[in-house]
């Protein structure tokens, strides 16, 4: 492609709303353009790279036994009502009505549609297992779209769905997809790690996310510094530290803590560590109260709380809601005697009391005394919380967010390290959570009707493009791995003399005929402008044609990745280019 004929609107400055590097460089290099918040159009350079990601995904999915389909993006509400997700999915689901007042949604994911497809076309165990995938535009009405292609409202995704006769066969396909995803991201030139993850709104029994490691990532990964354990922060847990301390035997004692409500204020006043405090928080999970108690220096994971309660939405209760439930001002709640207090104050309230695992290592605790301006010290967890004998709570459950240096839950030696990552893929074991409510059935060997078990496997195709830039860039621009670069070679002529133009045109044609993709900057522009645009766009190999080089019978080159410069003989250009590109 000749630069002079191409639509490549490069910019010297990044747009003001571009917060992350990938967003800045995709816009500056003329690959994408913003249409509305979270909605972008791909220009010629961008679509070339997007298609390269999609083609790698397609080739690896086909190799793994997937069959490509294409499902509608506009989905009748009836299908989502069958699965039960019409009510549960939340405001991210864009719902519309047609002229006949029939309800539809723009598909953020396609479990319902593929279940309907299989229900209508698959009737026997002989047709299973089956893995169907598509590469298609999705839409999610994000409340705050940001980071360009990272969190857009409209994006390209590969979603695959497998159907099986039993869980053993699902496990086999899950491992198959796990390996396939590793191959996909390796071919894309990405440093990627699979981590345990929360199943979220998709549901199912277990899942893994594939994370591109990058300092700008939205997600936090907890990873052991000794063993292979790694998990998304929403899913990660830690081993309980055994302090060797014996639980305190002194009786609980109330202490006056006037207007001291926070962990920092109370622990400072009592001259104790925040880890000795028992923090009591009240949440609203859908329409029910959930009271969570945990060690004072830890935070509650709302994802874990959602998973425990099965709620679609959770939020911290308002001060007036807490007062209405318990009669205690915010900041002075504690678990000791709380159930009896709630019963006396609000006998009809629906609530749940949960103790986080972090409390299991607490031997001498301090908590709110359930009255204004007082706390209680000398809390013996086993004695005072009556965990073994009280049936009105869940016992110790995992509800807190892990912290750096927490003990690894999988090995005895390791500590957890926190790092940032960008989710580019997610695989799920769904079981029958969609097949059963949607009445997907097949006949087994004995002629009995059964629901298949399912797996679900997604890759953010456009997000993978952005993640690659987050991992591969410098202060000059993008550094594409060859697999995703718009072109293999960025050809430039240093001057506009007849000899240089003629030679560059002949080289351009020779490179194309030899199977390379080439962007030729044939513009009548200053050399500095051409170099700046070449570095900004980031094709892996730059080849330069100029009078000085031709006088020596050679072309100059620069490898974009590391800046290595050199030249090669005009006579051996194809062989030399081939060698250089093999390692990029």
pLDDT digits (tens, 9 = 90+) for 174-193: 999 999 999 999 999 999 99
Global pTM?
Answer: 0.84
What is the separation, in whole angstroms, between the first and last Cα of the chain? 21
d(CA 308, CA 304): 6
User: Each residue of 416-428: pLDDT tens digit?
Assistant: 999 999 999 999 9
For residue 397, which phi and psi values (nearest 5 degrees)? -130, 165
416's enclosing H/E stretch is strand 416-431
User: Each residue of 541-564: pLDDT tens digit?
Assistant: 999 999 999 999 999 999 999 999
d(CA 139, CA 492): 40
d(CA 584, CA 579): 10
What residues does each domain of the chain span?
47-225+419-470, 253-397, 487-582
Label residues 331-341 b or e (16+ Cβ within 10 Å = b): bbbbbbebbeb
Is the four-CA dihedral 308, 309, 313, 315 of positive or negative sign? negative
- pLDDT value of position 196: 86
Structure tokens at 70: 């294409």
User: Each residue of 482-498: pLDDT tens digit?
Assistant: 999 999 999 999 999 99
User: Each residue of 258-274: pLDDT tens digit?
Assistant: 999 999 999 999 999 99
User: Each residue of 197-218: pLDDT tens digit?
Assistant: 876 655 556 789 999 988 878 8
Region at 189 (left for phi over 0; alpha for psi -120 to 50; beta for the rest): left
Return the SS3 of 92. Answer: coil
- pLDDT value of position 393: 56
164 with 452: CB under 8 angstroms? yes
d(CA 182, CA 176): 10
| Mean pLDDT of the 273-284 span | 94
Lowest mean per-residue pLDDT among 145-159, 192-206, 241-255, 525-539: 192-206
- pLDDT value of position 161: 98
Closest CA relative to residue 489, chosen from 567, 558, 541, 557: 541
- pLDDT value of position 199: 64
Label residues 405-438 b or e (16+ Cβ within 10 Å = b): ebbbbeeeebebeebbbbbbbbbbbbbbbbbebb
pLDDT exceeds cutoff 80 at 533: yes
- pLDDT value of position 77: 97
- Cβ atoms within 10 Å of 35's Cβ, excluding its own: 10
Q: Give the residue ranges of DSSP H helices in 84-231.
A: 85-88, 111-121, 167-187
- pLDDT value of position 339: 85
CATH code for 253-397?
Answer: 3.90.960.10
Residue 368: beta bridge partners? 375
d(CA 138, CA 134): 11
Residue 112, C-beta contacts closer than 8 angstroms, at least 6 positions apart: 75, 79, 80, 82, 83, 85, 434, 438
Give the homologous superfamily in CATH for domain 47-225+419-470.
Bira Bifunctional Protein; Domain 2 (3.30.930.10)
User: Each residue of 125-168: pLDDT tens digit?
Assistant: 999 999 999 999 999 998 888 899 998 999 999 999 999 999 99
Structure tokens at 469: 């830039």
In the chain, count of helices (H) and strands (E)?
Answer: 16, 31
Specify whether domain 487-582 bears CATH 3.40.50.800. yes
d(CA 235, CA 302): 11
Percent of the chain whose pLDDT exceeds 90? 80
10's enclosing H/E stretch is none
d(CA 152, CA 147): 8
Structure tokens at 31: 């690959």
Residue 360, C-beta contacts closer than 8 angstroms, at least 6 positions apart: 240, 381, 396
């Amino acid at each position: 492609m000749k630069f002079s004929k191409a639509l490549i609107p490069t910019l010297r400055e990044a747009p003001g709303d571009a917060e992350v590097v990938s967003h800045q460089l995709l816009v500056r290099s003329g690959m994408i353009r913003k249409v509305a918040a979270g909605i972008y159009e791909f220009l010629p350079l961008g679509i070339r790279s997007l298609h390269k990601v999609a083609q790698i995904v397609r080739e690896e999915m086909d190799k793994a036994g997937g069959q490509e389909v294409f499902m509608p993006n506009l989905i009748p509400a009836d299908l989502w009502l069958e699965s039960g997700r019409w009510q549960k999915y939340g405001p991210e689901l864009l719902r519309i009505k047609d002229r006949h007042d029939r309800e539809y949604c723009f598909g953020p994911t396609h479990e319902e549609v593929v279940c309907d497809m299989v229900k209508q076309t698959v009737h026997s165990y002989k047709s299973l297992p089956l893995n169907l995938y598509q590469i298609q535009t999705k839409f999610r009405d994000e409340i705050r779209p940001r980071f360009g292609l990272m969190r857009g409202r409209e994006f390209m995704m590969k979603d695959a769905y497998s159907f099986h006769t039993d869980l053993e066969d699902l496990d086999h396909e899950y491992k198959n997809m796990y390996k396939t995803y590793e191959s996909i991201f390796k071919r894309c030139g990405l440093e990627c790690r699979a981590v345990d993850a929360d199943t979220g709104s998709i549901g199912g029994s277990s899942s893994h996310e594939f994370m591109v490691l990058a300092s700008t990532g939205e997600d936090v990964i907890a990873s052991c510094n000794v063993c292979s354990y790694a998990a998304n922060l929403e899913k990660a847990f830690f081993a309980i530290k055994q302090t060797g301390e014996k639980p305190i035997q002194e009786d609980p004692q109330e202490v006056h803590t006037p207007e001291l409500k926070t962990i920092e204020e109370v622990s400072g006043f009592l001259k104790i560590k925040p880890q000795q405090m028992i923090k009591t928080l009240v949440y609203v999970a859908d329409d029910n109260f959930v009271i969570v108690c945990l060690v004072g220096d830890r935070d509650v994971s709302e994802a874990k709380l959602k998973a425990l309660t099965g709620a679609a939405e959770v939020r911290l209760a308002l001060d007036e809601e807490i007062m209405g439930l318990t009669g205690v001002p915010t900041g002075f709640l504690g678990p000791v005697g709380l159930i009896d207090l709630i019963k006396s104050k609000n006998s009809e309230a629906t609530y749940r009391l949960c103790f986080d695992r972090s409390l299991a290592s607490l031997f001498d605790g301090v908590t709110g005394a359930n009255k204004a301006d007082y706390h209680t010290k000398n809390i013996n967890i086993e004695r005072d919380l009556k965990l073994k004998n009280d049936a009105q709570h869940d016992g110790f459950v995992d509800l807190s967010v892990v912290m750096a240096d927490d003990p690894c839950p999988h090995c005895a030696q390791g500590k957890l390290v926190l790092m940032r990552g960008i989710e580019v893929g997610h695989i799920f074991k769904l079981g029958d959570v969609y097949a059963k409510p949607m009445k997907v059935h097949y006949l087994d060997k004995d002629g009995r009707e059964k629901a298949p078990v399912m797996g679900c496997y997604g890759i953010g195709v456009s997000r993978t493009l952005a993640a690659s830039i987050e991992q591969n860039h410098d202060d000059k621009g993008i550094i594409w791995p060859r697999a995703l670069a718009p072109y293999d070679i960025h050809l430039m002529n240093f001057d506009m003399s007849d000899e240089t133009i003629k030679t560059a045109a002949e080289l351009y044609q020779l490179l194309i005929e030899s199977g390379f993709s080439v962007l030729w900057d044939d513009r009548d522009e200053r050399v500095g402008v051409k170099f700046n645009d070449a570095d900004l766009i980031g094709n892996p190999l730059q080849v330069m044609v100029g009078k000085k080089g031709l006088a020596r019978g050679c072309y100059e080159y620069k490898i974009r990745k590391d800046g290595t410069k050199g030249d090669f003989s005009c006579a051996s250009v194809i062989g030399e280019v081939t060698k250089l590109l093999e390692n990029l």
